Chains A and B, each alone.
Chain A
Amino acid sequence: MSIIKEMPVAKVVRRRRLSADVLKPHEAIPRSYYTATVIISLVLLFGGWSILSYGGFVKPSYFLPTPTQVITAASRMVQSGELALNAQASISVVVIGWVLAAAAALPFGVLMGSFKLFEAFFEPIVDFMRYLPVSAMIPLLILYIGLDIKEKIAVIFLGTFFQLVLLVADVTSHVGKDLLDSAYTLGASRFRVLTIVLVPATLPGVMDALRITLGWAWTYLIVAELVAADNGLGIMIMESQRGLRTDKIFVGLITIGLLGFISDFIFKFLHRRLLPWSPRLRS
């Protein structure tokens, strides 16, 4: 009997004419090229900002604060605790609202993506709701809930829940039929197929859906805080605008950007850690 051992598919390493291939679609480029390009991008961004602000090209000058002004403002806000207080208020609203939405949306999405009956029942409602701008619902929410933190959590919840349901339903409905059929022919019952095949098969897609909607949650946060809030990054930005403090606005914006960047990073880390088998990971 000829038993042939194959090695796992290895990446082909070959020398290539770099100048010609860097602009070939989907072509891999050397790591050093990648890193260098990232650095150039950051330098251009920071350099452009520096030239425009220090050079006084933007009139009136308070429209665009200089990097020095932003850094000074940031360090003052960090020392006074203002930044931490506001960031913490915003993070808790975003995380609570988004976690509640995720907890409710996952079972819904899996059911909608698995059973045509659930799809027929819920899809029209979900499709309609997701096109309603959350901001348009704020007056109702204030009426129903009031002005405290619960109202802001509700905004985040409504903003992400319907999107998440549809994303999860889509991921679930795309699980290959042959994968489920294999499980049936191995003796699995319908319930088993749902719990030990369909659900694990959706995990990589669900992970991506969670990551994407957490990003969206931040955009709804600002809308939620604009109406009424004591603390939060959104309200901090609003108040800075009244005082023409663009340096503080910049600090707020950069903070939100960094928080998004960090949460994205955490998700990618978790994906790698929890789902090492995921076909979505590049090895």
Chain B
Amino acid sequence: MPPKLRLQDITMTFRTRRGAEVLAVDHLSLDVADREFISIVGPSGCGKSTLLRVIAGLVQPASGEVSLDGRRVTGPGADRGMVFQSYTLFPWLTVQGNVEFGPRLKAMPAAERVRLASEYIELVGLKGFERSYPKELSGGMMQRVAIARALANDPEVLLMDEPFGALDAQTRVIMQELLVNLWQRTPKTILFVTHDIDEALFLGDRVYIMTARPGRIKQVLDVHLPRPRAFDITTDPIFVEQKRAVLNSIKEESLKAIGLIGEGTQNGG
């Protein structure tokens, strides 16, 4: 079966203010199967967010190509939904209006649109808040609306860029459980970028570990945890063991990222 999403030889560069060219992502390739939940972890600045923006079509790679269902991605589109770390709800629209945004662009009939939005609002546990404006919501609630907004648009792939990164630890755990439940009910192809190893393992079928900049895939780990998952699985011996593996792998990269060990010494210790 051909992959749902294919990244071939993606290279990304950006220019610093002084004009120097920096390699952010280096010849990265990966395939994602349909309805697979992929977590991507890596040290800060490794280009993992950039990678999602490339898939979304918000930025063009310097070389390489992204294809979805065999079609080459050339720009942003409704088939690749995205949830950002920052709060991106449209402040002038109510919760209902935000979730209806995508379907409205597709000119979906009003009655159908309203029903669809209500369904997703209920799914993320915000029934009763349809008429609230974003400024009346907490951070966790806003991110739930953002997830509902992305899902109501029925994308082929959902890109999540540290969506729970700005939330407090307790809210984050609740959100992770909510997302894993949503995914178990209606599986979607999801790419989830995070620097939280627990989060990556708890959510994903596979975890991709990226190197420090320039970003490459360092290691791929299949998560051997059964589904459905609930949060107590994070104390399971398998979870703990896999977490140790990821930790060791990523620590080396983080040390490189902050310059404590050099490129040449990475295998020396």
Chain A residues within 8 Å of B, Cβ to Cβ:
1-6, 8-9, 176, 178-179, 181-188, 192, 197, 200-201, 203, 275-279, 283
Contacts and interface: CB of A to CB of B under 8 A. Distances in A.
16 contacts: A6-B140, A179-B88, A181-B82, A182-B82, A183-B90, A184-B56, A184-B58, A184-B76, A185-B76, A185-B77, A186-B78, A186-B153, A187-B106, A197-B90, A276-B133, A277-B134
Contacts of A275: 92
A186 B102 contact: yes
Contacts of A181: 53, 56, 58, 76, 82, 84, 88
A179 B93 CA distance: 13
Interface of B: 53, 56-58, 76-78, 80-82, 84, 86, 88, 90-94, 101-102, 105-106, 125, 128, 132-138, 140-141, 146, 149-150, 153, 159, 174, 177-178, 181
Contact of B101 (A4, A178, A186, A276): A186
A182 B135 CA distance: 18
Given A2-B177, A182-B88, A186-B102, A279 B135 contact: yes
B217 to A, nearest CB: 24
Nearest to A184: B76
A277 B153 contact: no
A4 B58 contact: no
A278 B135 CA distance: 8
Given A2-B174, A8-B136, A277-B92, A178 B76 contact: no
B92 A185 contact: no
Nearest to A204: B91
Contact of A277 (B78, B91, B128, B159): B91
A243 B76 CA distance: 71
B80 A185 contact: yes
Contacts of A8: 132, 136-138
B90 A179 contact: yes
B84 A178 contact: yes
Nearest to B149: A186
B135 to A, nearest CB: 5
Contacts of A203: 92
A188 to B, nearest CB: 6
5 cross-chain pairs, A with B, having the tightest CB-CB distances, nearest first? A187-B78, A3-B125, A184-B76, A185-B82, A182-B88
Contacts of A186: 78, 81, 101-102, 105, 149-150, 153
A2 B82 CA distance: 24
A7 to B, nearest CB: 9
Nearest to B133: A277
Nearest to B105: A187
Given A178-B84, A181-B84, A187 B178 contact: no
B139 to A, nearest CB: 9
A16 B193 CA distance: 44
A278 B80 CA distance: 29
Contact of B56 (A2, A3, A185, A200): A185
B123 to A, nearest CB: 9
A249 B169 CA distance: 64
A4 B125 contact: yes
Contacts of B149: 186
Given A9-B138, A275-B92, A277-B133, 6 more contacts: A2-B174, A3-B125, A8-B132, A181-B53, A185-B159, A201-B92
